[in-house]
Amino acid sequence: MAKELAEKRAWQVALRRVRAVEAAWDDPAGRQRAILECRHWLAAQSHLPRLCRLSPLLDPAMDRRRLAAVLAPVARAGSRRRVTDVDVLDADAPAAAAPAGLPVPLTVVADCLRSAFNLGGILRTAECLGAAAVWTCGYTAAPSAPAVAQAAMGAEKLVPWRVWPSVADALAALRRDGAQCVALETVAGAPAPGAFHWRFPCALVLGNERFGLAPETLALCDASVRIPVYGRKNSLNVAAAFAVAGYAARAAWERSGEVGEV
């Protein structure tokens, strides 16, 4: 992966250098300097023969047609080989496929979220904290949707997920498996995530960005947690709120020393 990323970056550098020649074209001295610098750099890329072979085409006496002959293939390759955040994250990841830590027995249940971007952020955070799964319900977008995947930055391929038509069905399945279902909601008197008595396996239930969880959904949950706020707004963005509560749950599970009651 590191080799592929280095090759992508080299094509992008080549594109910047050729475009620097184009930008300096009306300044004869600057154009000549940019041509020679670009030619020298391309010639040094012996590990990338396609780039290296472009070097002789760059000559101080070249015309715009010759420049276009160099720019066109570099621009095509550079756009195809664009380095994305996912590339960088994958290159920075450990070589081993195993996660850095043990997965926490926490299922995230997202009910009727409007924003694909928020779901993508939830997936990315779920992957980072080692959540067991992300379940989507109602009209929440599927994690495979392009807009979700764009925000998840590859996490949708790493976190197990499942789509349910009804949050009631999802919570019933979790209860059958012995999970504690906890609503993340602005319920008066609910404890903060760090003060809550988490029991595992556990499900953290997230609701609509504007309306929160429906009363009937809250009634299906075993408990609620609320994140204290100190400004004029009464709640955090759902993806940010999940990060706060999710990491509190993970910390409680790690303190327990084993899967089970904390």
pLDDT tens string 213-223: 999 999 999 99
Mean pLDDT calculated for residue range 139-156: 91
pLDDT exceeds 70 at position 23: yes
Residue at 197: amino acid letter: H
Superfamily assignment of 94-256 in CATH?
SPOUT methyltransferase, trefoil knot domain (3.40.1280.10)
Question: What three-state secondary structure class fits 133?
Answer: strand
Residues 6+ apart with CB under 8 A from 76: none
Residue at 41: amino acid letter: W
Q: Is residue 164 within a helix (H) or strand (E), and if so which, with residue range? A: strand 161-164
pLDDT at 93: 53
Query: What are the residue boundaries of the structural domains of the chain, listed by start?
Result: 2-85, 94-256
Report yes or no: 82 and 100 within 8 Å, Cβ to Cβ: no
**149 or 81, higher pLDDT:** 149
Question: What three-state secondary structure class fits 170?
Answer: helix
Q: Distance between CA 249 and CA 222 in Å, rounded?
A: 15
Mean pLDDT calculated for residue range 206-219: 95
Q: Distance between CA 206 and CA 239 in Å, rounded?
A: 9
Angle at 221 between CA 216 and CA 225, to 5 degrees: 110
Q: Distance between CA 70 and CA 74 in Å, rounded?
A: 7
Q: Distance between CA 140 and CA 164 in Å, rounded?
A: 9
pLDDT exceeds 70 at position 89: no
Q: Is residue 239 within a helix (H) or strand (E), and if so which, with residue range? A: helix 238-256
Q: Distance between CA 109 and CA 123 in Å, rounded?
A: 11
**156 or 257, higher pLDDT:** 156
pLDDT exceeds 90 at position 6: no
pLDDT exceeds 70 at position 244: yes
**Which of 30-34, 67-71, 127-131 has the lowest average pLDDT?**
67-71
From residue 123, alpha-carbon distances to 169, 192, 255 in Å are: 21, 22, 24
Backbone dihedral angles phi then psi of residue 212, each to the nearest 5 degrees = 75, -155
Backbone dihedral angles phi then psi of residue 261, each to the nearest 5 degrees = -70, 135
Q: How many residues does the chain have?
A: 262
pTM above 0.75, yes or no: no
Percent of the chain at pLDDT above 70?
Answer: 88
pLDDT at 79: 63
Q: Distance between CA 95 and CA 244 in Å, rounded?
A: 29
**67 or 174, higher pLDDT:** 174
Q: Which two tokens stand for residue 45?
A: 């890329």
pLDDT tens string 30-56: 999 999 999 999 999 988 898 898 999
Q: Distance between CA 233 and CA 255 in Å, rounded?
A: 32
